[in-house]
Structure 1
Amino acid sequence: MVRPLQTSDNLSLSTVCLRQSDNCALHPLAYALEDEEPVLSVQFLLRYPMLKLGDLAIDNALVFGDVKVNESKKDEDGNAPVETARAIRVFYMLEASEDADRWIRLFLKHMAAYSEESSRIFWTSSRSLADEMERNGALLIPWMPWAALALVVFCMAVCSSRDVVRSQPFIGFFAMFNAAMATVASMALLLYVRYPFLPLVFIMPFLVVSIGTDNMFLMLKSWRLSPEADVERRFVDALTETAASLFLTSLTDGLSFSVGSVSDFYAVRVFCTYCAMAILFMFIFQVTFFNAVMVLCCRRELAGRHSLLCYKVSKKGAKVVTVLVYLVYLAASINYALALPLGLDLKLLAPLGSYAAEELRAQERLFFDYGPYCFAVVLLRNRSLTNPEERRRLLLLYNALSSSKYASKAEFWLEDFESTHSGRAFTNTAFNSAVHTLFAERTKFRNDIRFDLNGDIEATKMLLRVRLLGPAHDKPRAEFLRSTMRDGGFDGFAYDTSFLLVDQQLATASGVITNVITATVTMLFICVLMVPRPVSATCIAVSILSINLGVVGALSSVDTRLDIISMITIVMSIGFSVDYVTHTTFHFIIQKDNRLKKCLTVMTEPILQSALSTVVGVSLLAFVPSYIVRTFVWTVFAVVGIGLLHGLLFVPVLLELMVPPTEYMQPYNAGTH
């Protein structure tokens, strides 16, 4: 099935395989399955976890899955005949070359079309997870035109009214066009300077659109509320009323992504850099191109060529109810946030239904007990293994590393060496001669020792077998192996591929906390500069933290993990959360009397329109079968919903309760300057 596969230029498995002497380095099971009578050939290999034939040891732990053995026939090493096995796994080790990559692509194409009636086949390769992650971006592309069309129609519809003169559908259209220009310009500039690109960046246009439409709705509302009849005066009034909050939201959005653009995580850094650059271009186009469009549309309206607001009068009872609702919201958010699972699950990186994800699930389910190999490297500088006491201590360390349920013994050359030289003291020459004699007999150990220029051993490798596969055991395994190495009396380190995920899990948690604190402090600093009123600025900072806490809780409630993907979306939510509360706060403190009513009169409609446009823009992406895209969609829904709740309910009540009448900011009046 696999060995006969050949590319158009006759590349086959035997051409690109990793060789051991003259033959491919394959498990005997791979040869047995290619035999004319595979059932008979496999019978000779059915012992678990190891098959020992004299000095030859064949590792079957990785090839037989979900095994039941005959316990009564176990040998002294714990190996027993296999009674049943629900899965067989075959490894094909390839050299690192372009030819091997081409053969892998042929293999993946062949396996996608292959099927068996009597069994289910899972397959993967060294390229599979990376290729499947890139497919997330490809899955987004077909939905982008439809999402853009839905947004254009929505924006044009909400900018229209029954009065054909006062309708402004082209403002809605050019707001979308403005966002599209910002997206294209930012990507073109970064690609021109050869900045890296990831498929994840395809999500970025939807964020830029939501920011652009938010500003557009606010400017249009201010225009419609202006009593002036002159185009210039009316436009200046609308622009001066909204300029501070537009600049503030653009600045805070850009800075929140700038914080992410210096992240330690490559994906976070690339995504946030593209977003920050797009927001910069968005602001530039907003104050140039879009303002010009606004002037032309407003001239058309005033030349005659061609509102429903509901609010409740603030009462003490309503404030008490709002505070109680907020306390319930806060308790639920904290409860879910504390339950947010940590760490990246590799199965979730591939699109739903991906063969690579299915293979990983099958691996965890069927090959749970025995995993691949891990190892420890021990540095032996200033130590000599000619001393039997040093060798004994090194063996004690090996036994300690392999004594837990997370790792067991595999191979260590010193065990074989001590079986014939136990307790013997050597001279340097005699010891090296004995070691080289052992390695001549057992060539598999040759790469387990590193000699220095003087011929002394400066480092050695201990091979261990991973036990108990799965994310739940990765962190305890890392902690056990690392602590055992620290306490073992030797310099060195232990390593398993799962350590990458464990370290990333720890870095993600600290990174999210650092980014949230940094971004919040930055937002607070900017708010104090733009809104120099301490109580109001503090209300904005508290609201940002509250919204982000709610977003984390909402993500936890839909089984999202705290990983690199959610880290990106949480950084994104910091910038988004500023928009709602800043607009509300700014329009609250520029009112002298009846502040809550006047603030909501101006802000309710544009905030609702902005929220709806954002939801419309990403709603179609909910159908994309990808965890990455789904996390993004859920984050946007959570930010919009929770931000709306804060902007129109919690923050107005907080401002009414906390901000004194003396904390007033005189609005700019174009007529007096």
Structure 2
Amino acid sequence: MRLGFGCLEPKAAKFFHSYGLLVSGYPFIFLISPILITGLLTTGLIGLEPLSDALYLYTPTDAPSKTERRIIHDAWPLVDGTYVPGRAVTQSREVQVRFLNRTWSFSDLCLSGPDGRCANNDHVQLVSRLYHHGINITYPTVRLAEKSAYIASALGGVKLAKGENGENIIVEASAWLLIYQLKFYPNQVSYISGLWEREFKEQMDEYKKTTKHVSITYFHSQTLSDELKKNADRLAPRFIGAFIILICFSVVCSVVTIKKSAYIDWVVTKPILSVLGVSNAGMGIASAMGMLTYMGIQYNDIIAVMPFLVVAVGTDNMFLMVASLKRTDRNLRYDKRIAECMSDAAVSILITALTGNLISDALSFGVGTITTIPAVQIFCIYTMCALLLTFAYQLTFFCAVLVYYTKIEEQGLHSVWLRPAVTYSSTSPLNVRLFWLGSKPPNPSSICATTQSSSSVTSTYSTSSKHLHHCSATSFFRNWYAPVLMQPSIRAIAGLWYIIYLALSIYGCSYLKEGLEPANLLVDDSYATPHYRVLEQHYWHYGASLQIVVNNAPDLRNPVERINMDKMASTFANSKASIGDEGVQFWLREMEVSANIHKLQYDDKKFYDHAAEYIYSDMSRPWVVDVVWGRNNESDHVIKSYRFMIGMRDISTTTKQTEATNTFREIASRFEKYNVTTYMPLWLFTDQYALVVPNTLQDIIVAVACMLVISALLIPQPVCSFWVAVTIGSIDLGVLGFMTLWNVNLDAISMITIIMSVGFSVDYSAHITYAYVISKETTTTARVCDALGDLGWPVAQGAMSTILAVSVLSDVPAYMIVTFFKTVFLAISIGFLHGLVFLPLMLSVFVG
């Protein structure tokens, strides 16, 4: 058996026709079963535990920086006796005082250094004493005889002057960074440290009110997690508002008036049906979240935006089903009408469901290397399940509701009070005309008109679609909009618009900015936002430290190897992102400085003995924890690996951070035999910057491929499937370009929405294309009029409902939420433009 294009369409239409008859025969079962399933699955929400680890959620799982961090953690774990300020790779905890059943001091919770003391920002005392004694302070490294201290990562906004010997002397500094590292083990101590952090924030909030001359910013290990929760907390009440707005909009769109009057036809107008249609999506959302919680798939705060998408898509599909029902003949029995409705609407909805959900499924479970950002994966899993269950409930619960309301309409009953409606008469009392009028099932010569909130409609259809007098909204698209659109001059203008649209989209893409900056995970009024801005302004321009690990140290008894190691350090220190040799913190160099001061001569064969003597002669030196000792084949003590630090410059923007990351990794690759690793905590985010573009492009390609295959099976003409795919690609190009012009980065947040915009693209393109292909008209103009007449208004309703659903997010003071709103708004607006302008013209030109 050979499959052809559109081979599934007639079979699907036949299946859903039979399915409609089945539901009509047993509506109660299809009504109550989804309600019971929803109630059962929703109990899973009791065990909902949000995951708010920002570094895990928004950085790629296979990011090189995670391997680099693990290498440093394994060699230099952050435990008591090994902590040296500036060398930690776990998020610092800055803290003051906290009381919990007893008086806790900083010494109770601090991480101690090699000398057993709390690392207590000793550079503060060092710089203060030098300043008060009138001694010039060199920068970026302070040197007193054989001892040195790197202070560029602690002092920011430094102004310099030249000393007598040409060295840089500090004139003034604008910022001072203090770090207080707490223990995070065992669990009880970690918990107390967390309480300290929150108490510290409260104390600092109060202290800031009393000081006017010093600007204080602060940040602790739980800040990102806490701020992510604020994003979710601000969304909850907004969803209630969006739900109410969609219900009101759906009710208004359901209004049908008596022919040649302004009074509502309460038989055809079904406000409760609209409420239940929107609630159907709510059932799918609750069921999906409960089910996935039972399955152990952790919820994260960005999923809080998922309901806005799903309820909008669910409402869109409701409009399609209701519009399809209205196109059936009211003289038919209710079961025949439901069968025709399902046969007509379900295939179009099926295209959306299959493409949208299969795309989400592919992204969620990682076909190949589609996406490695956990936040995107988890979001797609939740969205996929919510859309699938919403679709299933539309075919069961909402279809059963349609059956009951079609029976009520057939009997001429009031759709709200379920009492016989009154036939229109101008002599009827006003309260009857306002609240009790209704139409009877028409004869073939009857006509109807449907309206939005402001126009009147009739409520009847004839038995032949050829002679139907369509509702006013449908008539607008069929008799006015489509014929005007098909005029040669308008087509030429639309073609020019499309060229301008493509040019602006490509222009925007050329300035695409990648990456989710840590500060953008915060709400706009977060106390931590100024902290990030200070880092960008004062520390990422000059002075931030980079750790460089030599995992396979050479035999340092060989003087040639020592020279090679020194040259390697100079190579890193003198790259375009480094501040030079004066920013190097390297035990081997300091050992040579000490030897020169004391006029010592090292015996190469005993180099390791000399190194141990130097390193351990002063336990306050950071070199104690920078060297990892082991034994060679002769059981001699040797240095197996070590690390050194260099100072960096100009990493204040995402682009420069990415360039610096690539530069240092490229330099490390030159010394392959030493297995060199470079790392700083910011690398976790720069890896996301580098991977988000290829991830997004792969996602779009897979999405379009899935859509192309499925639409080819469901849409009879293969050329149409191709143009649907072209439309989706064009919409995504526009979203990427225009979001850049709207100051939105391509990051994990916008990436999620771009993935979802493929689904929205399918909504607009697949519905119009399917209607165009199955039209019985013979000319392209008539087929466009037929397609836009049947589906122009439902598509417009879907677009408006989605924009209304996300519009409540437009003023939320959080980058993540506003980014979501902007990208969804662009996806809907551009998709709507394609669905009602560009795609019909493409079909009329390229499809006969």
1:109-129 deviation line (CA, Å, top 9, x unaligned): 222333222232211112212
Offset at residue 655 of structure 1 (A): 0.8
2:122 aligned residue (14, 22, 28): 28
- Partner in structure 2 of residue 603 of structure 1: 791
Structure 1 CA distance for aligned equivalents of residues 737 and 133 of structure 2: 52
Counting only pairs closer than 5 Å after superposition, residues 104-119 of structure 1 correspond to structure 2 as 104-115=197-208, 116-119=211-214
- Secondary structure of the residue aligned to 2:642 is strand
Q: What pairs up with 1:429-448 in 2 under 5 angstroms?
A: 430-443=606-619, 444-448=622-626
Give the aligned residue type for 2:804: V
Aligned counterpart in structure 1 of residue 719 of structure 2, from 535, 541, 549:
535
In 2, Cα distance between the equivalents of 1:213 and 1:542?
26
Q: Give a deviation string over 1:167-188, Cα, whole Å, max 9, x none.
A: 1212210111100100000000
Q: Distance in 2 between matches of 1:46 and 1:365?
A: 22
In structure 2, relative to structure 1, the CA distance for the partners of 1:464 and 1:39 (3 Å cut) is closer
**By how many angstroms is 1:45 displaced?**
9.0
How far 1:4 moved relative to its partner? 4.8
Per-residue CA deviation, residues 179-214 of structure 1 (Å, 9 max, x unaligned), is 010000000000011111101111111111111111
The structure-2 alpha-carbon separation of the partners of 1:327 and 1:4, relative to structure 1 and needing over 3 Å to count, comes to closer
Per-residue deviation, residues 310-348 of structure 1 (Å, max 9, x unmatched): 123122222222222111111111111221111221111
C-alpha distance in 2 between matches for 1:270 and 1:526: 24
1:449 aligns with 627
Match of 2:662 in 1: 479
Aligned partner of residue 158 in structure 2, secondary structure: strand
In 1, are the aligned partners of 2:328 and 2:337 still within 8 Å (CA)?
Answer: yes
Q: Counterpart amino acid of 1:134?
A: K
Q: Equivalent residue for 2:748?
A: 564
8 Å contact from structure 1 (residues 206, 617) kept in 2: yes
**Equivalent residues of 2:658, 2:689 under 8 A apart:** no
CA shift for structure 1 position 145: 1.5
1:42 CA drift (Å):
10
Hey, what does 1:670 align to over in structure 2? none
Separation of aligned partners in 1, 2:133 and 2:373: 46
What is the distance in 2 between the residues matched to 1:169 and 1:371? Answer: 65
Asked if the contact 1:540/1:582 (under 8 Å) is kept, the reply is yes
Question: C-alpha separation between the residues in 2 aligned to 1:253 and 1:546?
Answer: 17
Amino acid at match of 1:148: F
For 1:94 and 1:648, the matched residues in 2 are separated by 60
| Aligned mates of 1:118, 1:278 — CA distance in 2 | 53
In structure 2, what is the equivalent of residue 266 of structure 1? 374
Residues 1:87 and 2:258 are matched in the alignment: no
Question: Counterpart of 2:652?
Answer: 470
What letter corresponds to residue 469 of structure 1 in structure 2?
A: I
Structure 1 letter corresponding to 2:756: M
The answer as to 2:586 corresponding to 1:403 is no
* Mapped partners of 2:172, 2:640: distance in 1: 45
1:67 maps to which residue? Answer: 158
Q: Which moved more, 1:333-342 or 1:48-57?
A: 48-57
Query: 1:59 & 1:452 partners in 2: Cα distance?
Result: 28
Q: How many angstroms apart in 2 are the aligned matches of 1:590 and 1:114?
A: 71
Structure-2 separation of matches of 1:239 and 1:485: 63
TM-score by length of 2: 0.73
Tell me by how many angstroms 1:267 deviates: 0.5
Which of 539, 542, 560 aligns to 1:370? It is: 542
- How far the C-alpha of 1:488 sits from its partner, in A, is 3.9
Shift, 1:459, TM fit: 1.8
Query: Relative to structure 2, which stretch is displaced further, 544-553 or 409-418?
Result: 409-418
CA contact (8 A) 1:375 1:496 kept: yes
- 1:223 matched to which residue of 2? 325
Query: Contact 1:364–1:470 at 8 Å: present in 2 too?
Result: yes
Q: In the aligned structure 2, how far is the partner of 1:44 from the partner of 1:620?
A: 60
- CA contact 2:130–2:136 (8 Å) conserved in 1: no
Kindly state the Cα deviation for residue 49 of structure 1 after the two structures are TM-superposed.
2.9
Q: Once the 2 structures are TM-superposed, how far is the Cα of residue 247 of structure 1 from its aligned partner?
A: 1.0
More displaced 10-residue stretch of structure 1: 438-447 or 43-52: 43-52
Structure 2, gaps ≥5 residues long: 1-93, 257-263, 415-470
Q: Distance in 2 between matches of 1:640 and 1:488?
A: 51
Q: Is residue 323 of structure 2 the alignment partner of residue 323 of structure 1?
A: no
Equivalent position amino acid for 1:493 in 2:
T
Distance of aligned partners of 1:584 and 1:43 in 2 relative to their CA distance in 1, 3 Å threshold? farther
Equivalent-residue separation in structure 2 for 1:10 and 1:432 (angstroms): 46
CA shift in 2, pair 1:298/1:96, >3 Å? same
Corresponding residue for residue 386 of structure 1: 557
Contact 2:183 2:193 survives alignment (8 Å): yes
RMSD: 2.4
Bigger shift: residues 293-302 or 266-275: 293-302
Secondary structure of 2:557 counterpart: coil
1:505 aligns with 2:693: no
Is the 1:212–1:282 contact (alpha carbons within 8 Å) kept by the matching residues of 2? yes
Instruction: Output aligned runs, 1:489-504, within 5 Å.
Output: 490-491=673-674, 492-504=676-688
Question: CA offsets, 1:418-448, max 9 Å, x none?
Answer: 3438996622xx2221111111224421222
Q: Is the CA contact (8 Å cut-off) linking 1:12 and 1:103 kept in structure 2?
A: no
1:288 to 366, 378, 396: 396
Deviation at 1:487, TM superposition (A): 2.3
Which residue is equivalent to 1:667?
Answer: none
Q: 1:31 to 1:140 in 2, by over 3 A?
A: farther
SS at match of 2:604: coil
CA contact (8 A) 1:45 1:51 kept: no
Letter of the 1:149 counterpart: I
Change (3 A) 1:567 1:10: same
Distance 1:346 1:120 in 2: 21
Local SS of the residue matching 2:772: helix
Offset of 1:44 from its aligned partner? 7.2
CA distance in 1, matches of 2:360, 2:142: 56
Once structures 1 and 2 are overlaid, which stretch shifts more, 368-377 or 500-509? 368-377
Q: 1:533 to 1:4 in 2, by over 3 A?
A: closer
Aligned match of 2:587 in 407, 413, 427? Answer: 413
Residue 341 (structure 2) pairs with residue 171 (structure 1): no
Indicate conservation of the 8 Å contact 2:744/2:819, yes or no.
yes
What is the alpha-carbon distance in structure 1 between the residues aligned to residue 107 and residue 306 of structure 2? 45
2:767 paired residue number: 583
Indicate yes or no: 2:262 matched with 1:160: no
2 CA distance for matches of 1:47 and 1:92? 25
What is residue 333 of structure 1 aligned with on the other side? 505
Shift of 1:251: 1.1
Relative to structure 1, is the Cα distance of residues 4 and 47 closer, same or farther in structure 2, using a 3 angstrom cutoff? farther
One-letter code of the match for 1:288?
Answer: T
Q: Are 1:132 and 1:354, in contact at CA under 8 Å, matched by a contact in 2? A: yes
The residue type equivalent to 1:312 in the other structure is A
Q: Secondary structure of the residue that 1:622 maps to in structure 2?
A: coil
- The amino acid of 2:379's aligned partner reads F
Residues 175 and 423 of structure 1: CA distance in aligned 2, closer, same or farther (over 3 Å):
farther
Q: Work out the percentage of aligned pairs sharing the same amino acid.
A: 30
Partner Cα distance (2:230, 2:133) in 1 = 38
Aligned mates of 2:124, 2:603 — CA distance in 1? 44
| Number of aligned residues | 651
1:185 touches 1:281 (CA, 8 Å); kept in 2? Answer: yes
Q: Is the 8 A contact 2:280 2:314 kept in 1?
A: yes
| Aligned partner (choices 342, 354, 361) of residue 514 of structure 2 | 342
1:360 aligns with 2:537: no
Distance 2:508 2:667 in 1: 35
Q: Residues 159 and 169 of structure 1 are in contact (CA less than 8 Å); yes or no, is this contact kept in structure 2? A: yes
